[in-house]
Amino acid sequence: MLTVKMEKAYNEQINAELYSAYLYLSMSSYLSLNNLNGFANWMKIQYQEETFHAMKFYQYVIDRGGKVVLEAIEKPQITWKNIIDVFESTLKHENHITALINNLMTLAHEEKDHASVSFLNWFVDEQVEEEANVIELLQELRLIEGKGPALFMLDREAKSRVFTPPPAV
């Protein structure tokens, strides 16, 4: 059974993950409008991943006998300066989500909730991967200054990204 503090924190995380999904869907729309359909696809995959994360938290709260409380989701940003700004915003957001996951882990330790510590380990590892993926792409975009023929090559590469849900553990 979840403590009141853990249940509240998980509900806040569900909201944060759903906001992440909205943000990435908004970025996808912006990129499509700017004829960067490969990067738009990359962000749609991010949207799917964040929705998966939200549902993973959702199901965990239910499995632990908690109550899911869905709150309003903040409206995401809809415009950026350029492709580099999009991915700088993405990295900043992923850093924020990492901090939230770390805070959840700290709370789980404080509450002596070993099941949550075990559950949250997956998200700690996932955030390392999330940040690394964004950093790699951002470095490539900065290298080409976000323009030129190389941008279209990266865009084409981003088009091949697919969402593969992780196997159940």
Task: Report all structural domains of the chain as residue ranges with CATH numbers, in order of start.
Answer: 4-158 (1.20.1260.10)
Residue range 47-86, pLDDT digits in tens: 999 999 999 999 999 999 999 999 999 999 999 999 999 9
pTM score:
0.95
Q: How far is CA 46 from CA 10, 29, 85, 99, in A?
A: 20, 13, 17, 18
- 30-48 residue pLDDT tens: 999 999 999 999 999 999 9
Contact 119, 79 (CB under 8 A): no
- CA end-to-end distance (rounded Å), the chain: 20
pLDDT digits (tens, 9 = 90+) for 80-138: 999 999 999 999 999 999 999 999 999 999 999 999 999 999 999 999 999 999 999 99
**At 165, is the pLDDT very low, low, confident or very high (cuts 50, 70, 90)?**
confident
pLDDT classification of 169: cutoffs 50, 70, 90: low
Which of the four pLDDT bands, split at 50, 70 and 90, describes residue 168? low
Cβ-contact 42, 158 below 8 angstroms: yes
- Nearest CA-CA partner of 12 in 58, 77, 46, 62: 58
| DSSP notation for 21-69 | HHHHHHHHHHHHHTT-HHHHHHHHHHHHHHHHHHHHHHHHHHHTT----
User: What 3-state DSSP class applies to 168?
Assistant: coil
pLDDT value at residue 167: 77
